Amino acid sequence: MAPADLDIVREFIAGLRASGHDMDLLRDTIERWFHPDAEWHTMRELPGGGVRRGREAVVKELQDQWNAFDEYEPESEDLRAVGDQAVARLTLRSTPRGVSTAVEAHVGNIYTLRAGQIYRVRAFRDPAEAFAVAEAEAAA
């Protein structure tokens, strides 16, 4: 993976953070950094988990996630190339709607790029699993 590809993922995460709950900014971020045929693979542990295809479906998935929270702030703690993919350990700080206590979760995402844009995101509840999957795929 080229260093520029890691920069694309960094820029996407920064754009996601900057978007807050602003749907126009979110849409612009997805339009800029995602391939038209993008896939977002949600965590299999989540209700309604599965694959979302296309930029609009990615926007809808992220909007649905945001709608569950008053505050939602993703931060990349560790981003590195593993084979031809980027893997990120993310910390999600959020406050669920109707709750006054913030929660923090550590998750992992595997990003696959195509033609200089994010083509596939696979989300994992455990960051170590994301790194292990990417390493196994790189070794295959």
pLDDT in tens, 84-115: 999 999 988 877 778 888 888 899 999 999 99
Q: What is the pTM of this model?
A: 0.90
2: Cβ contacts below 8 Å, ≥ 6 apart: none
* 50 torsion bin: left (phi>0), alpha (psi -120 to 50), beta (else): left
Structural domain boundaries in the chain? 3-139
In this predicted model, what pLDDT tens digit does every residue of 7-41 receive, in sequence order?
A: 999 999 999 888 877 889 989 999 999 999 999 99
CATH 3.10.450.50 fits 3-139, yes or no: yes
